């Protein structure tokens, strides 16, 4: 039986190191957090702060996602030409067919 899901992913996903879903979950966390700092992103994803910084660069350069930083706060400005946010949310929750 499946539990009810909320509109945000609030628990860390158990994706293994090197799995592209870790990057995608981070992008979704940045998009959904009101104040996406390294601390809030680390708490949400379970990743180390340095890993998050490295992964943000991967999201920018490998997937074309536009992520801006204003002081300590990250903001996802554009999903770029490859990623569709609604499909991504379903995919990461295992609802994508």
From first to last of the 97 residues of the chain, give the pLDDT tens digit.
434 333 444 444 567 888 888 999 999 999 999 999 999 999 999 999 999 999 999 999 999 999 999 999 999 999 988 787 777 777 777 755 4
Has residue 20 been placed in a domain?
no
Other residues' Cβ atoms within 10 Å of the Cβ of residue 40: 17
- Counting Cα atoms < 13 Å in the Cβ hemisphere of 57 gives 5
71 DSSP 8-state letter: T
Has residue 52 been placed in a domain?
yes
* Structural domain that includes position 49: 35-92
- Number of domains the chain contains: 1
Q: Which residues contact 68 (CB under 8 A, 6 or more apart)?
A: 74, 75, 77
Q: Which residues contact 95 (CB under 8 A, 6 or more apart)?
A: none
Name the nearest CA neighbour of 79 among 27, 40, 38.
27
Has residue 54 been placed in a domain?
yes
Query: Global pTM?
Result: 0.77
Has residue 19 been placed in a domain?
no
Say how far residue 22 (Cα) sits from the centre of its chain: 7
């Amino acid at each position: 039986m499946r539990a009810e899901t909320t509109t945000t992913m609030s628990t860390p996903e158990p994706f293994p190191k090197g799995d592209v879903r870790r990057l995608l979950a981070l992008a979704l966390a940045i998009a959904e957090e009101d104040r996406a700092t390294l601390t809030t992103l680390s708490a949400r994803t379970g990743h180390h702060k340095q890993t998050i910084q490295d992964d943000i660069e991967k999201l920018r350069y490998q997937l074309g996602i536009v992520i801006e930083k204003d002081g300590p706060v990250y903001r996802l400005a554009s999903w770029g030409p490859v990623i569709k946010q609604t499909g991504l949310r379903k995919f990461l929750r295992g609802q994508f067919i």
